[in-house]
Amino acid sequence: MFLDPNCIFCKIVAGEAEASVVYQDKYVTVFMDIRPVVQGHTLVVPNIHSPDLSSLDQAHAQHMFTTALNIAQAIRASELKCEGINLFMADGGAAGQTVFHNHLHIIPRYIGDGFGLRFPVGYGEQPARAELDRTAANIAALMTTHQLNDRD
């Protein structure tokens, strides 16, 4: 397991920094965000230092998402105010990432919570099918990072 001594999330994984831990196993650590959007805002992090999506291995990625589903179900069953849930990951500063150790946010949502995504001017206009097809082909041609074993 590689941990970066200068990374706050690595310190939490190692038990060397204070955190309100919900769950920990071989692959992931789950703890409360210290600046919650709303009460119940939880983070799932891999137990290995990987700064961004391109450095996140498949086993940790799968386990992060599976754990997030489990945590989301627990939040739904809890007494926390929760009418919906957002799962959110930021990859890179332009996407809003501020701690460069992968983390999956689980954010309980309710009508009037004040949180939301802001869409750009022009959002909602539908591009031509040919443009969508071109974009799909460009992305598909570069899908080599992870082997998707279940595609057949």
Contact 59, 80 (CB under 8 A): no
Verify binding: residue 10, Zn ion, rule CB under 5 A.
yes
Contact 104, 42 (CB under 8 A): no
Contacting range for Zn ion; rule: CB under 5 A; set: 1-9, 32-40, 90-98, 114-122: 1-9
- Sign of the torsion formed by the C-alpha atoms of 90, 43, 62 and 113: negative
Contacting range for Zn ion; rule: CB under 5 A; set: 41-49, 60-68, 77-85, 135-143: 41-49
Verify binding: residue 30, Zn ion, rule CB under 5 A.
no
Verify binding: residue 52, Zn ion, rule CB under 5 A.
no
Backbone angles phi and psi of 109, in degrees to 5: -130, 150
Which of 41, 63, 101, 105 touches Zn ion (CB under 5 A)?
A: 101
Which of 41, 49, 63, 105 touches Zn ion (CB under 5 A)?
A: 49
Catalytic residue among 49, 63, 101, 103: 103
Q: Rounded to whole angstroms, how far apart are CA atoms 116 and 5?
A: 34
Contact 32, 23 (CB under 8 A): no
Active site amino acids: 103
Residues that bind Zn ion (CB under 5 A): 4, 7, 9-10, 49, 101
